[in-house]
Amino acid sequence: MRLHTLTALALALMAIVAFAAGCSDDDAATTPAITYGDNDDPVFVPVQTQIDGVLDEMIGDFAAGMGNLYTNPGDTSSIRAELMPPWMVPNPDEEPVDTLITGYQNEWHFVYASYLGDAYRSVFCDSIQFRVDGEAVENPTNDVDYIHNIANWSITCLNQNVSHLDLNGRSDYEFADLDQAVAAINGDGHHMVEITYVSADTSYFGNYNFNMTVAGVQVAKSPTGWNNACPIAGTITMTMSYVYTWTGPQNSGNGASSWTVTAAFDQGTATVTASNGASTWQYVSDVCSPAQP
């Protein structure tokens, strides 16, 4: 089972904090280099970073979901790393798991893990169901044609007065047609990230919410199995909203924004359209390389 640390998205948002907290009125017209097209509007640049982070994280979730076909559903060998993502610095003498429960009940495999350290509290719950021809089976086999994977997670800093990240979220994905050459993925997810940055003369707080819907995403099977989750077709839609406040040596302020985003995939390339209600941006990104037959 893969537990969720949102590493790509969290690091992308940390980069945005550094940009936002350092801005002043004189710097507002300066736009960092961007990758796609002419979308260099400073309103859109940090949003594109967030979109790319979410897409990367979701494709990782797809790969992990299908990868459950090849692992022990109760495997907890990665629990230590999952409960201590890169921004957490626990006491090296601490045991990173204080509660760990695994089992199979009512046709579902489940893993529950929690960690209460000096700085952070982490809780994860991952559930997986396998089916063959509509009937639940306990163990993954070559006959499995469907996987349902539901995950919930949260990471909370115990000291809210220092620089930190708080995360929580849920994902619910269904993987069908795993006995065919092309699988179908449908489902939804929610991520919430709160960022607090504190230095000698600057502070920043941001709350970011992401709601994603996966509709008819298709993934091709490679000659060695379902080890490539790069979409060849289908659509991911999301709504994003955030609020933030900052104070600094040159200025202070606050803001809020809401976005709707559609990413339409074709052989690993996504055409992304994003709108904040007043304007619309579009760019094309080679997100990943699909499996080759």
Taking the C-alpha atoms of residue 35 and residue 52, their distance in angstroms, rounded to an integer, is 11
CA geometry: angle at 168 spanning 163 and 171, to 5°?
Answer: 145
Contact 259, 276 (CB under 8 A): yes
At 94-103, the pLDDT tens digits run: 556 678 899 9
pLDDT at residue number 149: 95
pLDDT at residue number 34: 34
| Torsion (CA) 132, 133, 136, 139 in degrees, nearest 10 | -10
Taking the C-alpha atoms of residue 290 and residue 232, their distance in angstroms, rounded to an integer, is 7
User: What are the residue ranges of helices labelled H in the chain?
Assistant: 7-21, 45-67, 79-83
Average pLDDT over residues 114-125: 84
Q: What separation in angstroms does the CA of 195 have from each of 55, 137, 138?
A: 20, 41, 40
Contact 122, 130 (CB under 8 A): no
pLDDT at residue number 25: 41
- The conformation of residue 211, written as its DSSP 8-state character, comes to E
Taking the C-alpha atoms of residue 228 and residue 64, their distance in angstroms, rounded to an integer, is 10
Taking the C-alpha atoms of residue 282 and residue 41, their distance in angstroms, rounded to an integer, is 12
At 12-65, the pLDDT tens digits run: 554 454 444 444 344 444 444 333 335 788 889 988 998 998 899 899 999 989
pLDDT at residue number 21: 42
Helix (H) or strand (E) holding 179: none
Is the pLDDT assigned to residue 202 strictly greater than 50? yes
pLDDT at residue number 19: 44
Domain ranges in the chain are 7-88+96-286
At 208-257, the pLDDT tens digits run: 999 999 999 999 999 989 989 999 999 999 999 989 898 888 888 898 99
Q: Output the average pLDDT for the chain.
A: 83
